[in-house]
Structure 1
Amino acid sequence: MLTGAYSIVASLFGLVAYAPFASAIGFLESTQIYEKKPFFWGGAMIVALGVFPSLAIMLSRLPITLGNAVLFVAYLQLFGTALKNIRPYVFDSVTIHRIAAPVLFGVSIMMADPKLFTSLPSLLQPLVSNGFMMGVLLAIVLESVIKWDKANDNTKLETNYNSKAKEST
């Protein structure tokens, strides 16, 4: 009952209930549709799912790989956006660690057997088993905890010291 109500209310605002915001950005970039009208039509379809639970049941029986294939297209666009955002950075060891650690962590979770997470509390399983979300969370934690500017300055100092040492020999 509540799921249907949430779907109806979300669609009134042109939102898609239960769709991560990041996926929505990927779909916008993929379709290049920026008008509100298609989103209201999509919202109307979500309302229909809320009003007629049998439609939602029918959609829930679709293979999960189909949903993953659709999300793959959105995530490709997100990856492209991420690459555009890191274009101005100089690629040194600090920057590579800053980018590669969350990406590889997320990919490794995506490749892990889902049975690996069954011992975790059921509330945490969907989050911890989602490689995309865990990679994003790791990136947020790393950005919050590590002073990258200071680490980058140390790398530059070491590089300058090493290059001056080579010049003097």
Structure 2
Amino acid sequence: MTLITVPLAVIPFSPFVSSIGLLTQTGDYTRRSFIYGSVICLLVALVPALTRLFCSIPLPVSSAVMLVSYLPLLFSALVFSQQITFTARNIYRLALPLFVGIFLMALPPVYLQDLPLTLRPLLSNGLLVGILLAVLMDNLIPWERIE
């Protein structure tokens, strides 16, 4: 996967939302930082000792690091939500993806173990499912008629 993503200058196995966090944290909006990150990921993938080292990092530590890139994303979402006048009908636009995402993040992994291996990473990521649900709802529901 890393060999495919390096020419595209994207960081492999990283959701797009963390890329937004990286942009806001660094203030560097050029592709250069993504190219550097992709090359570093490629080098790590090519050196087994480095791969083992990064795989040995406990999940809570790596999650704390990812939190740093997600906080600016939360800030931008809160700023954007101030531009919307919520009503009793359109609150579902925000609440449903948010609560589904939180529910999936709190769901014990044992509930997902019977699902196909291709679906488990998607459904165990509450942030990704919440974003997908928000995009689907935004494109499929005629909000202008509801409001």
TM range (shorter): 0.7 to 0.9
Aligned residues: 147
State the distance in 2 between where 1:143 and 1:40 align: 32
TM-score by length of 1: 0.76
CA contact (8 A) 2:2 2:45 kept: yes
1:52–1:65 CA distance, 2 compared to 1 (3 A)? same
1:98–1:9 CA distance, 2 compared to 1 (3 A)? closer
Structure with the bigger percentage of helix:
1
CA contact (8 A) 1:106 1:131 kept: yes
CA contact (8 A) 2:123 2:129 kept: yes
Higher relative contact order (CA 8 A, sep 6+): 2
CA contact (8 A) 1:8 1:50 kept: no
Say yes or no: does 1:128 pair with 2:118.
no
Partner residue, 2:45? 50
Partner residue, 1:69? 64
Return the offset for 1:37: 4.7
Say yes or no: does 1:104 pair with 2:99.
yes
Q: CA-to-partner distance for each residue in 1:29-66, whole Å, 9 max, x for gaps?
A: 12323355544433332221132122112211111111
**Greater C-alpha Rg:** 1
State the distance in 2 between where 1:59 and 1:84 align: 35
Counterpart selection for 1:19 from 14, 23, 30: 14
CA contact (8 A) 2:101 2:126 kept: yes
Q: Which runs of 5+ in 2 are unaligned?
A: none
Q: Which runs of 5+ in 1 are unaligned?
A: 1-5, 153-169
What SS does structure 2 have at the residue aligned with 1:94? coil
Partner residue, 1:164? none
State the distance in 1 between where 2:125 and 2:80 align: 23
Letter in 1 for 2:135: I
State the distance in 1 between where 2:50 and 2:78 align: 38
Superposition CA RMSD, Å: 1.9
State the distance in 2 between where 1:26 and 1:92 align: 29
Say yes or no: does 1:139 pair with 2:134.
yes
